Structure 1
Amino acid sequence: MELRHLRYFVVLADELHFTHAAERLHIEQPPLSRAIKELEDELGVVLFDRDRRGTRLTAAGVAFLQDSLRLFTVLEQAWENVKAVAAGLRGSLRIAVSDGATDPRLSEFLARCRAEEPEIEIRLSEVPLAEQLRGLRSGDFMIGFAHTANVGGGIVAEPIWRDPLVIAVPARHELLAHKEVTIHELGGHPLVMCDPRVCEGYSRELVKLLGPLEYRQNVVEYVTSLDMMLTLVGAGYGVGFMAATKIPVSQRPDVVIRPLAVESAIITTYLLRPDNGDVSASLERFIVRLRDGLGS
């Protein structure tokens, strides 16, 4: 079995169209068809159903695609590692961050890791939660940070940091009459919320917190960043939410921060990792260093 055959198979499985796949591979369609036929003959299975309605993966094709993708992930990791070694490093850690789960503690921790083990390359990717979970299961990412423990099977969610949620209020607003704001006092007020497609886990937790409002929620805008939320709040569009750790980077004359008068108004940052026991020595040191820092 040639690696070329596997690459052709993966591209065709993605396109499900021989002409488009051939164009993407920069080859003619007949060589692609021959390569897929050779691969099917070698495996002794049919990978694609082809008829007038188009091209579809068979059940065997779906299973083989998952294993092929894992193989290419391993090859990519090997390529990254050998480049790191050639550059004087001893490997790399691939970390995903979702839900805006970044704050000074993460920066300080990463700086400590780089100082203590400069020979380990740390690569961060900011991705939506669904992409992080797929990457953790496929091996694209070794660990991740997110604001939810509702991540499905095969992944361990370990709480790392817990922070109070606060609200951002326009500088002139009736809610500023309260030193602390209850959930019910938010009812009916326009809300500026994080786009759930970008901050899926964070949005889930916020929706649970706002559950008592039921149909009194009045979401007027969805945003994809803290800066945009503060901009709209400052302009009077509505009230926004954020973790208390973001207050130092959120100081604006047109926005006032108020705590929520709810004991459960907490946002938790979770460390996510695959539940397969396959932990490299460098990753184990990373996790131990993170846990040790919780008590400092």
Structure 2
Amino acid sequence: MEMQQVRYFLALSSTLNFTRAAEECNVTQPALTRAIKTLEDELGGELLRRERQHSHLTELGRRMLPLLQQCYDAATSAKSLAKAVQSSDVALLNVTISNSVNIALLVSPFTELFRAYPGVHLKISRGSPTAVVDALKNGDVELAVAGPLGAAWDRLDTWPLFQEEIELVVNSDHPLARRNESDVALDQLAGEPVLSRIDWETSEELSRRLAAKGFTAQAAHEVETDHDLLALLEANAGVGFVSTTAPRSSSVRRLKLRDVDISRVVAVYAVAGRHRSPVATTLLNLLRSTDWSPFGVSEPA
């Protein structure tokens, strides 16, 4: 199936007249007729039935019309976008951000990127650490922002951005939240159901550090994102752990762990040796030069 065949059919379905459709498409009537006949052969039936001056779409033609219209519109949009890219009117940039990174952190570098590239077409995907690495491996994205990815892949270039603490979070009505102290001892968490994060970059390190202090979490519900964790905390479903820059809620209180100091490093990642577009390089430089201190974090160790 060729796009010109689809275009001819759309014109014909609008005019219901081969002569006017041919004029609209700027082709001869025999050429349009042949193209429609070829399309009908491919689709296995007549699309339009001629009845002297009252031609009409067949049942197959009516069913194909919205699908072929959508196909044509998508092809036209793709062609326009490709033309804009070639003329530098649009710069495409695919970026993936871990579920555990608050996108609000990136407003400033994104703002500067849009100033540098007014026509940038930014596509942002979200996912687990595994999905982040897969997106980089497969070439689906040029850059990724995430917490520690460890030795997930030896071809990752890594630029640390900032270091942030991991904090305990509880519902504001929880007994631990109603105390005057801003920190909590691990033994005070005994018997508390701990909400766990599925495929969180910090899960393994957090579990290891807590276990080293003799604390084993009593597993409760599982969630993937900070927003889901906060929702369950607002429902007083247990206690949990979040990073300093995670979204906040007035219904939840954050506390420091008195017995153990846990932090993580958020970084920007790319594939070593793989070509980066100018717009990707610009965003990388903006991220690396951003002052993250207003978010309550520190320089990477």
Q: Aligned AA for 1:125?
A: S
Q: Aligned AA for 2:268?
A: L
Q: Which residue of 1 aligns with 2:10?
A: none
Q: Which has the higher helix share?
A: 1
Q: Aligned AA for 2:290?
A: G
SS of the residue corresponding to residue 253 of structure 2 reads: strand
Instruction: Name whichever of 105-114 and 172-181 sits farther off.
Output: 172-181
Q: CA deviation at 1:213?
A: 5.3
Instruction: Name whichever of 160-169 and 212-221 sits farther off.
Output: 212-221
Correspondence 1:75-94 to 2 at 5 A? 82=82, 84-85=84-85, 89-94=89-94
Count of equivalent residues = 215
- Alpha-carbon distance between aligned partners in 2 of 1:244 and 1:152, rounded to the nearest angstrom: 27
Q: Aligned AA for 1:194?
A: R
- Alpha-carbon distance between aligned partners in 1 of 2:168 and 2:143, rounded to the nearest angstrom: 30
SS of the residue corresponding to residue 216 of structure 1 reads: coil
1:193 to 2:193 alignment: no
Instruction: Name whichever of 206-215 and 155-164 sits farther off.
Output: 206-215
Q: 1:226 to 1:261 in 2, by over 3 A?
A: same
Q: 1:83 to 1:170 in 2, by over 3 A?
A: same
1:144 to 2:147 alignment: no
- Alpha-carbon distance between aligned partners in 2 of 1:80 and 1:133, rounded to the nearest angstrom: 31
1:250 to 2:249 alignment: yes
Correspondence 1:264-283 to 2 at 5 A? 264-283=261-280
Correspondence 1:68-79 to 2 at 5 A? none
Q: Aligned AA for 1:94?
A: N
Alignment equivalent of 1:290, drawn from 266, 277, 287:
287
- Asked if structure 2 preserves the Cα contact closer than 8 Å seen for 1:99 and 1:202, the reply is no
Q: CA deviation at 1:226?
A: 2.6
Q: Which residue of 2 aligns with 1:234?
A: 234
CA RMSD of aligned residues (A): 3.1
**CA offset digits 1:143-199 (Å, max 9, x no partner):** 101111313211122211222222211233343434212445434321012222xx3
Which structure is higher in RCO with an 8 Å CA cutoff and minimum separation 6? 2
Q: 1:115 to 1:208 in 2, by over 3 A?
A: farther
- Alpha-carbon distance between aligned partners in 2 of 1:245 and 1:135, rounded to the nearest angstrom: 24
Correspondence 1:172-211 to 2 at 5 A? 172-176=173-177, 177=179, 178-196=181-199, 199=200, 201-211=201-211
- Asked if structure 2 preserves the Cα contact closer than 8 Å seen for 1:165 and 1:241, the reply is yes
Of the two, which has the highest radius of gyration? 2
Q: Aligned AA for 2:207?
A: V
- Alpha-carbon distance between aligned partners in 2 of 1:99 and 1:285, rounded to the nearest angstrom: 23
SS of the residue corresponding to residue 110 of structure 2 reads: helix
5+ residue gaps, structure 1: 1-25, 27-77
Q: CA deviation at 1:287?
A: 1.2
Q: Which residue of 1 aligns with 2:73?
A: none
1:168 to 2:169 alignment: yes
SS of the residue corresponding to residue 183 of structure 2 reads: coil
Q: CA deviation at 1:222?
A: 0.6
Q: CA deviation at 1:128?
A: 2.4
Percent identical: 19
Correspondence 1:217-228 to 2 at 5 A? 217-228=217-228
- Alpha-carbon distance between aligned partners in 2 of 1:214 and 1:202, rounded to the nearest angstrom: 18
Q: Aligned AA for 2:154?
A: G
Q: 1:215 to 1:165 in 2, by over 3 A?
A: closer
Q: Aligned AA for 1:186?
A: L
Q: 1:132 to 1:234 in 2, by over 3 A?
A: closer
Q: Aligned AA for 1:292?
A: S
SS of the residue corresponding to residue 124 of structure 1 reads: strand
SS of the residue corresponding to residue 286 of structure 1 reads: helix
Correspondence 1:23-172 to 2 at 5 A? 82=82, 84-85=84-85, 89-150=89-150, 151-172=152-173
